[in-house]
Chains A and B, each alone.
Chain A
Amino acid sequence: MALVAVLTSAGCIGEIGGGTPGVECETTASPGAPVPMRRLTAAQVERTVSDVLGVAKDLQVSDERLFTFRSNVSSSVDFVGARGYLDFAEAAVAATDRASCTENGDACKAWLFKDVGQRLFRRPLTDAERARYEALFGAGAMEGDPKEGARWVLEAMLQSPTFLYMDEVVEENGYLDDWSIASRLALTIWGSNPDAELLAKAEAGALSTPEQITQEAERMLDDPRSLGGLTDFVDQWLRLERLNDPDARPDLEALGPETLAALRKEPVQLVQMLMKQGADVDELLTTSTTAPLPELASIYADDVVGETAESIELDPDKRAGILSLPGVMAALSHADSTSPTLRGYAVLSNFLCNAPLPPPAGVSVTLPDIGEGKSTRERLEAHFSNPTCAACHKSMDGMGFAFEGIDWLGRSRDLEFGKPIDDTSSFQLDGKEVTVDGPVQLASVMANSEAVANCLARQWVSYAGGMPDKKEAACLVGQIAEEMQQPEGLRKMVLTFVGSDWYRRGPVQAP
């Protein structure tokens, strides 16, 4: 099978040159982030319904791919979208336990209007809404029984714009009201809806100052539901969906659903674990521990050197941080071969915010045939002799070579075609030529790079802000990057942003 170098083109994370390190901060108050009205992403809708109604169903409505992350800020719901919401609502409600809806409908209505309604709408129902749903409940109950009434109401709630869109209210002072803050926090940190406690704080007006907000965000980070928001962030940032793309990796299905799911979940669980431990960004890049996922035992094999209930200790000479995780490495490979190109590109694009340009039109991307039994590295180096290719590929592939000791399933390897792996690699970092020997050295070089911390801060601001980060946020990004390198740095990444002016300001109302 021909080994094919791949043309990738990443989405973009905002405007070029945003968030460069060392930006002079002229003011501590950032302008508001100009986020238009957002429609929840499919993942956020699914998670909310799972949390509130206890049913897991797939929502078949497309999200906008604005940049690295999904966020719906420009499109309207078209016919297919409306149909997708209808199908989802009907399937979810059919599977919902409506046992409280007995002949005396009071308990049922309390459940619908106080509990479910408030959590789906992320605020209390208005009197008008309540009256409308009362009428709908009555009409449904007439057709059948209170369970049928509840069905009608729930189907309407799940298709309501109040549920599907962020209904953000800006107060006189230009900041979001407490209900809107509660919604934003829940979607950012949990990828889901506010819980009763968060709603109670909104009602009490206890989400009005940066201190109150960061304090609440602390609680939310410690809650297991934080896995939701982290999944949306990490999974999209590292483009792990490729693991489930049969066109990209037709071979992975053979691993079985448990192993594949574990490959995809591990990076997210690692980030959550490190946050709990109070880790900083350096540890994210260099740690030799990982989250306990027994499904990956066969992939890690001898790389596991120790185990506790909370974590797994990996061979520190072979594994370092989030980049060398099997799922990340497998996502950046082809079926049956590694891809130093994809891996190098991902580091440049996702960790340095400096994506190389795509190849010019008409360039052959089929690697020259240099005969059988040659290593992946040798085959890629063969196209360095073509200056058109070398211009970009030397930096991309050069960086990717560092991972050659990890194969296309994320397993460690010493040999390829019986010959020892050469994973020395040279590339440009912070304007200097750097040479490293393997992924562990690469990770330690990256951990000390300002550009990496800054890029990760930009990724987080893009995700949590719902829009590509803007030049105006450069000062805030720089501040977050600095905090990320201090103790508790990963938590501070979240807390600093949600406590910032940028996050608390209402969307700018374009006329």
Chain B
Amino acid sequence: MSGYKTSRRSFLRAGLAGGALVATGSAITLFPWLQAAAAPAPKRLLLFFTPHGTVWDQWRPGGGESDFTFSPILEPLAGHRERLVIVDGIEIKTGTEYYIPHTYTMPVLWTGSPIDTATKEFCREDHMQCFGWNTGVSVDQFIASKLTGTPTPFSTIELGLGCGGLHPATRMIYTGPGKPRSPIDNPEAAFSTLFGAVNPDLQQAERDAKRRKSVLDSVLDDFGSRRAKLSQNEKLRLDAHADSIRELELSLTAACAAPPAPVDVNSETSIDRQSDLLATALGCGLTRIASFQVRIADNDNTLYPWVGLDAGGHHTLSHDSGPAAQGKLAQLYRWYSQRFAYLLDKLAATPDVDGRSVLDNTLVIWGSELGQAWNHDIENVPFVFAGAKDLLRGGRYLKGSAIAHNRMLVSACHAMGLTDVETYGTLDTGTGPLPGLFL
């Protein structure tokens, strides 16, 4: 006897962007596009991460707030000028004196809370330090938990690229203390997870849906029968697993009209293919909140031969303050900018239910776990905000210093309508949203 019933809500109601498919009974039905130009479009949030900070003298724009000139690294974003706010001067505090900022900052970036240094699960003998997961909730998950109205098929979507094994330095999204949430880190898996329910053979789709529901309900029963003899911590771990299966059940019976499957996926193109899927998913209402994690925060030794980085890898090079290495890194960071520009292009090209573009209704935040890699500096970490037409006072370069990064998280809450949030995370050293960001 299962204590769980799959929710059969109709996603047709309440301002969902068009094209969603949902289960009715067990079949999967395709919605037509909602021709509801009158409907206000949903507000959305997208967090974008690239590793190892930047090269400051190649990143920092010239000029003033409104008449700034693009730097070599940011120049690929020139086409989106009026939709951008470039912020220089945000400081991240990790709340620990531990040595390795990569590992300790990535979990802090979106949670505003410190890692757990009391638990000693993960050890680095070369640093003589042991630590656990983060102690907080990342801002995207917090916002998702507060959203009202019809739930989207996916509460949030996390995509990534080569995000490695489970480790505090490889996960940035947290549903709760000690509960990292993994990104789907390759386009094939992302396509099948987000759009896999679409099967032109409707009868087969229906059979699959029925079987999966019965199978997963049986699996959930199994969880129930194991609970009695476990410690509190083990119960929590199993409960979280069961919750994930419930979340999976919902995702299996809702999808969008599938975009074309990603083709020509390789190490150079997969980043854009993930952007394609993300734009489609946001545009058709699979979720309102997403994140995109490019690689990992520690020991990411990816090679990028197409920008001339063909030996040693990103992390190794980032430790080198010499001009040759920094020049190579600047080329890589410029390439990241090009890819971020591509993501914005896709969002701008995806129509929204209000007749505007998805980008117009989405706040996009681009951040990193370090400011400057070679000295592990986190006193100034580069951020770029984009989109959110009715909210962001675009076309500007804001220069400050030691602005608590928690205020960036407060801004994200405000953008999503949670305007009563004044502080975010337990490391909070700042109150209120970032000054001058919004209209």
Contacts of B181 in A (CB 8 A): 78-80
In the complex, per-residue mask of A119-157: 1 if CB is within 8 Å of any chain B CB, else 0: 000000010110011001001100100000001100110
A133 to B324, CA, bound (A): 64
Q: Is there a chain A Cβ closer than 8 Å to B146's Cβ?
A: no
Q: Are B214 and A159 in contact (CB under 8 A)?
A: no
* Closest chain B residue, CB of each to CB of A76: B240
Contacts of A167 in B (CB 8 A): 226
- Given A4-B316, A364-B322, A511-B232, also A79-B247 (CB < 8 A): yes
- Given A16-B128, A64-B166, also A7-B234 (CB < 8 A): no
Contacts of A248 in B (CB 8 A): 301, 313
Q: Are B240 and A11 in contact (CB under 8 A)?
A: no
Contacts of B231 in A (CB 8 A): 37, 509-511
A82-90, A220-228, A432-440 - interface stretch: A82-90
Contacts of A388 in B (CB 8 A): none
A133 to B215, CA, bound (A): 10
Q: Is there a chain B Cβ closer than 8 Å to A277's Cβ?
A: no
B77-85, B119-127, B349-357 - interface stretch: B119-127
Q: Chain A contact residues: over half helix, strand or loop, or mixed?
A: loop
- Given A62-B182, A362-B375, A510-B231, also A357-B244 (CB < 8 A): no
Q: Is there a chain A Cβ closer than 8 Å to B320's Cβ?
A: yes
Contacts of A349 in B (CB 8 A): 125-126
* Closest chain B residue, CB of each to CB of A169: B229
Contacts of B322 in A (CB 8 A): 364, 366
Contacts of B223 in A (CB 8 A): 161
A188 to B81, CA, bound (A): 58
Q: Are A139 and B123 in contact (CB under 8 A)?
A: no
Q: Is there a chain B Cβ closer than 8 Å to A250's Cβ?
A: yes
A49-57, A65-73, A206-214 - interface stretch: A65-73
In the complex, per-residue mask of B109-146: 1 if CB is within 8 Å of any chain A CB, else 0: 00000000001111111111010110000000000000
Q: Is there a chain B Cβ closer than 8 Å to A1's Cβ?
A: yes
Q: Are A160 and B247 in contact (CB under 8 A)?
A: no
Q: Are A247 and B128 in contact (CB under 8 A)?
A: no
Q: Which of A66, A81, A364 contacts B320 (CB 8 A)?
A: A364
In the complex, per-residue mask of A438-452: 1 if CB is within 8 Å of any chain B CB, else 0: 000000000000000
- Given A143-B210, A161-B238, A355-B126, also A156-B219 (CB < 8 A): yes
Q: Is there a chain B Cβ closer than 8 Å to A13's Cβ?
A: yes
Min Cβ gap B7→A in Å is: 16
* Closest chain A residue, CB of each to CB of B211: A152
A206 to B223, CA, bound (A): 30
Min Cβ gap A192→B in Å is: 21
A128 to B316, CA, bound (A): 55
Q: Are B374 and A79 in contact (CB under 8 A)?
A: no
Contacts of A308 in B (CB 8 A): none
Q: Is there a chain A Cβ closer than 8 Å to B204's Cβ?
A: no
A124 to B169, CA, bound (A): 40
Contacts of B311 in A (CB 8 A): 1-4, 334-335
Contacts of B376 in A (CB 8 A): 361
Q: Are B182 and A12 in contact (CB under 8 A)?
A: no
Contacts of B126 in A (CB 8 A): 9-10, 12, 349, 355-358
Contacts of B312 in A (CB 8 A): 2, 4, 6, 365-366
Q: Is there a chain A Cβ closer than 8 Å to B390's Cβ?
A: no
Q: Is there a chain A Cβ closer than 8 Å to B199's Cβ?
A: no
Min Cβ gap A272→B in Å is: 26
In the complex, per-residue mask of B19-59: 1 if CB is within 8 Å of any chain A CB, else 0: 00000000000000000000000000000000000000000
> Residues of B within 8 Å of A, CB-based: how many?
82
Q: Are A7 and B315 in contact (CB under 8 A)?
A: yes
Q: Is there a chain B Cβ closer than 8 Å to A431's Cβ?
A: no
A359 to B132, CA, bound (A): 24
Contacts of B215 in A (CB 8 A): 136, 152, 155-156, 159
Min Cβ gap A78→B in Å is: 5
Q: Which of A82, A133, A511 contacts B218 (CB 8 A)?
A: A133
Min Cβ gap A123→B in Å is: 13
Q: Is there a chain B Cβ closer than 8 Å to A310's Cβ?
A: no
- Given A63-B165, A79-B247, A156-B218, also A143-B125 (CB < 8 A): no
* Closest chain A residue, CB of each to CB of B313: A247
Min Cβ gap B389→A in Å is: 31
A102 to B310, CA, bound (A): 57
Q: Is there a chain A Cβ closer than 8 Å to B167's Cβ?
A: yes
- Given A136-B215, A143-B210, A510-B231, also A74-B123 (CB < 8 A): no
Contacts of B319 in A (CB 8 A): 7, 359, 361-363, 365
Contacts of A65 in B (CB 8 A): 122, 164-167
* Closest chain B residue, CB of each to CB of A345: B126
Contacts of B121 in A (CB 8 A): 64, 66, 73-74
* Closest chain A residue, CB of each to CB of B373: A361
Q: Is there a chain A Cβ closer than 8 Å to B222's Cβ?
A: yes
A72 to B126, CA, bound (A): 22
Contacts of B119 in A (CB 8 A): 74
Q: Which of A12, A246, A365 contacts B124 (CB 8 A)?
A: A12
Q: Which of A9, A70, A78, A510 contacts B180 (CB 8 A)?
A: A78
A361 to B370, CA, bound (A): 13
Contacts of B241 in A (CB 8 A): 76-77, 81-82, 161
Q: Is there a chain B Cβ closer than 8 Å to A468's Cβ?
A: yes
Q: Is there a chain B Cβ closer than 8 Å to A15's Cβ?
A: yes
Contacts of B124 in A (CB 8 A): 9, 11-12
Q: Are A79 and B127 in contact (CB under 8 A)?
A: no
Q: Is there a chain A Cβ closer than 8 Å to B212's Cβ?
A: yes
Q: Which of B128, B237, B251, B313 contacts A76 (CB 8 A)?
A: B237
Q: Are A362 and B313 in contact (CB under 8 A)?
A: no
Q: A37-B231, A81-B182, A161-B219 are in contact. List 8 more A-B contacts (CB 8 A).
A: A16-B125, A74-B121, A75-B133, A78-B182, A79-B247, A159-B216, A349-B126, A366-B312
Q: A residues near B, CB below 8 A?
A: 1-4, 6-16, 36-37, 60, 62-67, 70, 72-83, 86-87, 126, 128-129, 132-133, 136, 139-140, 143, 151-152, 155-156, 159-162, 165, 167, 169, 246-248, 250, 334-335, 349, 353, 355-359, 361-366, 468, 509-511
Sampled A-B contacts (27; CB under 8 Å): A2-B312, A3-B311, A6-B316, A7-B299, A9-B124, A10-B126, A11-B125, A12-B123, A14-B125, A16-B128, A37-B230, A62-B165, A64-B121, A65-B164, A67-B123, A74-B132, A76-B240, A79-B244, A79-B251, A80-B158, A82-B241, A82-B245, A128-B225, A152-B214, A335-B311, A362-B319, A468-B123
Going nearest first, the 6 A-B pairs with the smallest beta carbon separation are A12-B123, A4-B312, A76-B240, A12-B125, A82-B244, A77-B241
